[in-house]
């Protein structure tokens, strides 16, 4: 039966049975399939005729089959296929297939064809596809890629070529290379590491002046400035640090905070006189970092300890948070005593900071203090205290005080505290064994522990994409639906299961934000009914403004947990670059202490996975 099916497939397709299996149709972006040796028996003319008939709908593996056929006319035939195509993905597959001619007599002609297409083709989609094909060759096609950088009409084509040439620029290590990287490279996702590696090797006074001009240019993207500060810090050079110091009073508070932190790690003590004034009158995002930086640069100065003790009683919560970190850095008995006293701070964000530092302190004297306070805390801070107890002791007696208290009364005086390395290893093993709890409500399997939570949900046009509603009380089996309806189903399920002590809000976003309420409200019966009715009312459409959704949640100082659900990369809003979103949120969250859980719908998302990891949350996928 199978043999008859493949015979029929071969007859319909117009090529021999031996190649029928190689040309099945697969949906989605084309895979790289380059023949390693000639495929005998491939009917190149038949495949070309098929492309001419089916055009953009043709199976994309056809191009690789032509290129790898070993037929003398394969190169000419593959060139002809391009003339029948107009859409991005089939064109990408066709141009990519020219890579099969590397190491063959047609290599020179293949590269010339790709370069001509990249520079001269009348259609942008062809130019970009041809550039991408050359970029895949990397260092093998340096001459061609250099010409694209110098002469290409499309900025995107130049960026693609520069990305492939980053290792080459690192070897050249000259001013021209630095200028090209700064002009055309895009610091986003996986590119950032390669760009940093290339720029790290580009040094000297001329390059330093070049960097100075870019850092002062208000139109230069924040993502680039963040990256350049990292590069300059890596130089471990006095002049480079002086350039970083020029950014500590930037109008961009998040950028200024990063500059202050980097100076604090530089070891150059003379920068204390530039940073210390910021502890007293700097912008909110800078206060915490300035106090920590001065502590690191003064390195044990007893007079500074007295100042830190005073700052730990400041009226400004960000300064008290910086003082908590500084007290841990100092680690004298007086510093530790004050750090433990700060467990009773009136601001929950300061207490979160203190609990984190106490967990790192690894002193048993903190254990009874945490046990005493854990029951009186909010679920969010109780979670952090529970983690700190596990890291301090290497054992787990649950999230409430009773079992911990009984254990401590029995073993406290004789307990031999494991080393910090051992308790961290035990915690990693514990997390791997942990099963999902069913005692409280979950959102896509993520447990909702907080009582101050905002659900931030994507309602952009792409959320109309197909998805399956899982079986449940109202459905005996999964049903076809849309991504947003699946999200709506989860919200309708989780809200009624939450404690009536919960403060909550809902925010939907497309190109702009559509909040339910301006801030958190009590989850009573009336508000629950109102919220459930609101879930389906927000208008759908537009881009994906992740930044607006997160900023709405951060604007309410009571919020300690966010559940972010989206099916796509950011595409609209004040900040679109995923690297910059992560960097800014991480900085802002040093004084906000919001846990961010992320749910990626319909696809895997490196951006969301890292966003959750960097902000104390969990990541899951609904594929």
Task: Render pLDDT for 495-534 as a digit per residue (tens, 0 to 9).
Answer: 998 988 999 999 999 999 999 999 999 999 999 999 988 8
**pLDDT of 392 above 90:** yes
Q: Place 621 in a pLDDT band, splitting at 50, 70 and 90.
A: confident
- Decide: helix, strand or coil at residue 621: strand
Mode of pairing for the β-strands spanning 513-515 and 503-509: antiparallel
Q: Which of 362-376, 451-465, 527-541 has the lowest mean pLDDT?
A: 527-541
Architecture of the domain whose range is 442-622:
3-Layer(aba) Sandwich (3.40)
- For the segment 109-134, the average pLDDT, to the nearest whole number, is 96
What pLDDT score does 190 carry? Answer: 67
Q: Radius of gyration of the chain from Cα atoms?
A: 29
Q: Residue 434's pLDDT band (boundaries 50, 70, 90)? A: low
Helices 88-96 and 74-82, packing angle to 10 deg:
160
Confidence of residue 3 (pLDDT cuts 50, 70, 90): very low
Alpha carbons 48 and 456: distance in angstroms, whole number: 50
Task: Provide the pLDDT for residue 436.
Answer: 47
User: What is the reported pLDDT for 189?
Assistant: 64
Higher pLDDT, 477 or 461: 461
| pLDDT in the model for residue 143 | 96
194 with 223: CB under 8 angstroms? no
In angstroms, the CA 308 to CA 613 distance is: 30
pLDDT of 128 over the 60 cut:
yes
Residue 181 in tokens: 């990287």
pLDDT tops 80 at residue 91 = yes
What is this structure's pTM?
Answer: 0.81
- Residue range(s) of every CATH 3.40.50.410 domain in the chain: 442-622
For domain 2-163, give the CATH number.
Answer: 1.25.10
Alpha helix (H) ranges present in 68-204? 74-82, 88-96, 107-120, 124-135, 142-151, 155-172, 175-184, 191-200
Distances (CA, A) of 475 to 212, 469, 471, 480, 586: 62, 9, 5, 11, 40
The whole-number pLDDT of residue 219 equals 83
Cross-strand pairs, 504: 453, 521
Q: What is the 3-state secondary structure (H, E, C) of 307-362?
A: HHHHHCCCCCHHHHHHHHHHHHHHCCHHHHHHHHHHHHCCCHHHHHHHHHHHHHHC
Rounded-to-integer distance, Cα 76 and Cα 230, Å: 48
What distance lies between CA 122 and its chain's CA centroid? 36
Could you give the CA distance from residue 139 to residue 69 in angstroms, rounded to a whole number? Answer: 26
DSSP string, 121-148: -SSHHHHHHHHHHHHTTGGGGHHHHHHH
pLDDT confidence band for 554 (50 / 70 / 90):
very high
- pLDDT > 90: percent of the chain: 65
* Exposed / middle / buried, residue 94 (Cβ in 10 Å: 0-12, 13-18, 19+): buried
Higher local confidence (pLDDT), 193 or 27: 193
| Of 297 and 621, more confident | 297
For residue 133, give every residue at least 6 positions away whose Cβ sits within 8 Å of its Cβ, in sequence order, or none.
Answer: 92, 95, 96, 98, 99, 114
- What's the CA gap between 346 and 98, in Å, rounded? 66
Q: What are phi and psi of 264, to 5 degrees?
A: -65, -25
Rounded distance, CA 5 to CA 9, Å?
6
Phi, psi torsion values for 38, nearest 5 degrees: -55, 140
Contact 327, 339 (CB under 8 A): yes
What Å distances lie between residue 328 and 223, 259, 324, 551, CA to CA? 31, 22, 7, 30
Q: Is residue 15 pLDDT above 80, yes or no?
A: no
Residues 384-393: what's their mean pLDDT? 95
Q: What is the mean pLDDT of residues 67-96?
A: 94
More confident of the two residues 86 and 194: 86
Rounded to 10 degrees, what is the CA torsion of 198, 199, 203, 209?
A: 150
Strand partners, 467: 481
At 264 the pLDDT is: 96
Which pair of structure tokens corresponds to residue 565? Answer: 């659900």
What is the pLDDT averaged over residues 130-154?
95
d(CA 216, CA 85): 45
pLDDT band at 221 (very low <50, low <70, confident <90, very high): confident
Our CA angle for 272, 275, 280, nearest 5°, is 120
Both tokens assigned to 223: 């993502």
Residue 165: name the closest of 122, 129, 131 by CA. Answer: 131
> What's residue 448's pLDDT?
87
Q: In whole angstroms, what separates CA 283 from the centre of its chain? A: 26
Distance CA 516, CA 535 (A): 9
Q: Please, what sign has the CA dihedral across residues 522, 525, 530, 533? A: positive
* Each residue's pLDDT tens digit, 222-250: 888 889 999 999 988 999 999 999 999 99
Buried b (16+ CB within 10 A) or exposed e, 99-119: bbbeeeebeeebbebbbebbb
Backbone dihedral angles phi then psi of residue 622, each to the nearest 5 degrees: -115, 90
CA-nearest of 121, 131, 192, 137 to 159 is 131
Asked whether residue 34 carries a pLDDT value surpassing 60, the answer given is no
Most confident of 169-183, 306-320, 564-578: 306-320
Distance CA 372, CA 424 (A): 23
Structure tokens given for 473: 């009380």
Q: What's the DSSP call for residue 422?
A: H
Q: What is the pLDDT of residue 40?
A: 54
Q: Say how far apart CA 109 and CA 75 lie, in whole Å.
A: 9
Phi-psi region of 490 (alpha: psi -120 to 50; beta: other; left: phi over 0): alpha
Q: Which of 374, 417, 373 is nearest to 399 (CA)?
A: 374
What is the location of CATH 1.25.10 in the chain? 2-163
Mean pLDDT of 537-558: 90
pLDDT of residue 345: 97
**Which pLDDT score, from 0 to 100, does residue 473 have?**
64
For the ranges 35-49, 170-184, 403-417, 522-536, the lowest mean pLDDT is seen at: 35-49
Within 13 A of 503's CA, how many CA atoms are on the CB side? 15
Q: Which residues contact 458 (CB under 8 A, 6 or more apart)?
A: 484, 487, 508, 509, 510, 544, 546, 549, 565, 566, 567, 568, 601
Determine the pLDDT at residue 439: 45
Q: Per-residue pLDDT averaged across 608-612, rounded? A: 95
Is residue 576 scored above 90 in pLDDT?
Answer: no
H/E run at residue 537: none
Check residue 42 and give its pLDDT.
81
Confidence of residue 198 (pLDDT cuts 50, 70, 90): confident
Question: What average pLDDT does the chain have?
Answer: 87
CA distance 181 to 162: 7
């Amino acid at each position: 039966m199978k043999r008859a099916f493949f015979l029929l497939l071969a007859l319909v397709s117009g090529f021999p049975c031996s190649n029928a299996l190689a040309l099945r149709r697969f949906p989605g972006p084309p895979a790289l399939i380059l023949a390693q040796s000639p495929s005998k028996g491939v009917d190149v003319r038949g495949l070309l005729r098929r492309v001419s008939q089916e055009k953009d709908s043709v199976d994309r593996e056809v191009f690789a089959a032509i290129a790898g056929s070993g037929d003398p006319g394969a190169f000419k035939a593959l060139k002809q296929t391009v003339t029948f195509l107009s859409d991005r993905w089939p064109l990408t597959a066709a141009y990519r297939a020219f890579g099969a001619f590397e190491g063959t007599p047609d290599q020179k002609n293949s590269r010339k064809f790709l370069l001509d297409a990249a520079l001269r083709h009348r259609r942008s989609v062809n130019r970009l596809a041809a550039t991408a094909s050359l970029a895949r060759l990397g260092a093998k096609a340096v001459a061609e890629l250099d010409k694209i950088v110098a002469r290409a009409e499309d900025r995107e084509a130049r960026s693609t070529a520069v990305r492939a040439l980053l290792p080459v620029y690192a070897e050249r290590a000259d001013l021209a290379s630095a200028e090209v990287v700064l002009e055309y490279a895009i610091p986003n996702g996986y590119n950032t590491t390669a760009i940093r590696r290339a720029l790290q090797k580009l040094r000297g006074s001329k390059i330093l002046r070049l960097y100075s001009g870019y850092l002062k240019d208000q139109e230069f993207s924040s993502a680039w400035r963040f990256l350049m500060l990292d590069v300059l810090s890596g130089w471990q050079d006095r002049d480079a640090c002086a350039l970083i110091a020029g950014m500590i009073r930037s109008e961009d508070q998040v950028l200024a905070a990063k500059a202050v932190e980097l100076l604090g790690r530089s070891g150059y003590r003379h920068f204390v006189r530039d940073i210390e004034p910021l502890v007293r009158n700097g912008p909110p995002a800078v206060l915490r970092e300035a106090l920590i930086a001065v502590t690191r640069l003064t390195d044990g100065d007893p007079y500074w300890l007295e100042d830190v003790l005073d700052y730990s009683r400041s009226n400004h919560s960000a300064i008290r948070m910086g003082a908590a970190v500084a007290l841990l850095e100092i680690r004298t008995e007086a510093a530790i005593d004050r750090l433990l006293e700060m467990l009773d701070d009136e601001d929950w964000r300061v207490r979160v900071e203190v609990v984190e530092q106490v967990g790192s302190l690894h002193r048993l004297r903190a254990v009874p203090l945490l046990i005493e306070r854990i029951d009186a805390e909010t679920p969010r801070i109780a979670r952090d205290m529970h983690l700190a107890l596990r890291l301090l002791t290497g054992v787990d007696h649950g999230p409430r005080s009773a079992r911990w208290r009984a254990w401590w009364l029995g073993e406290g005086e004789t307990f031999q505290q494991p080393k910090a390395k051992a308790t961290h290893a035990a915690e990693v093993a514990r997390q791997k064994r942990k099963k999902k709890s069913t005692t409280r409500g979950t959102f896509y399997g993520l447990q909702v522990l907080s009582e101050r939570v905002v659900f931030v949900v994507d309602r952009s046009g792409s959320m109309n994409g197909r998805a399956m509603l899982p079986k449940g009380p109202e459905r005996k089996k999964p049903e076809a639906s849309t991504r947003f309806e699946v999200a709506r189903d989860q919200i309708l399920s989780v809200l009624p299961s939450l404690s009536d002590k919960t403060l909550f809000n809902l925010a939907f976003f497309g190109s702009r934000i559509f909040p339910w309420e301006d801030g958190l409200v009590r989850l009573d019966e009336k508000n629950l009914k109102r919220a459930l009715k609101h879930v389906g009312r927000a208008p759908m459409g537009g881009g994906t403004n992740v930044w607006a959704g997160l900023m709405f949640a951060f604007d309410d100082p009571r919020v300690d947990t966010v559940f972010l659900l989206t099916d796509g990369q950011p595409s609209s809003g004040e900040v679109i670059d995923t690297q910059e979103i992560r960097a800014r949120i991480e900085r802002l969250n040093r004084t906000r202490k919001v846990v961010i859980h992320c749910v990626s719908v319909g696809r895997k998302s490196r951006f969301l996975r890292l966003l959750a990891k960097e902000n104390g949350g969990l990541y899951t996928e609904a594929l």
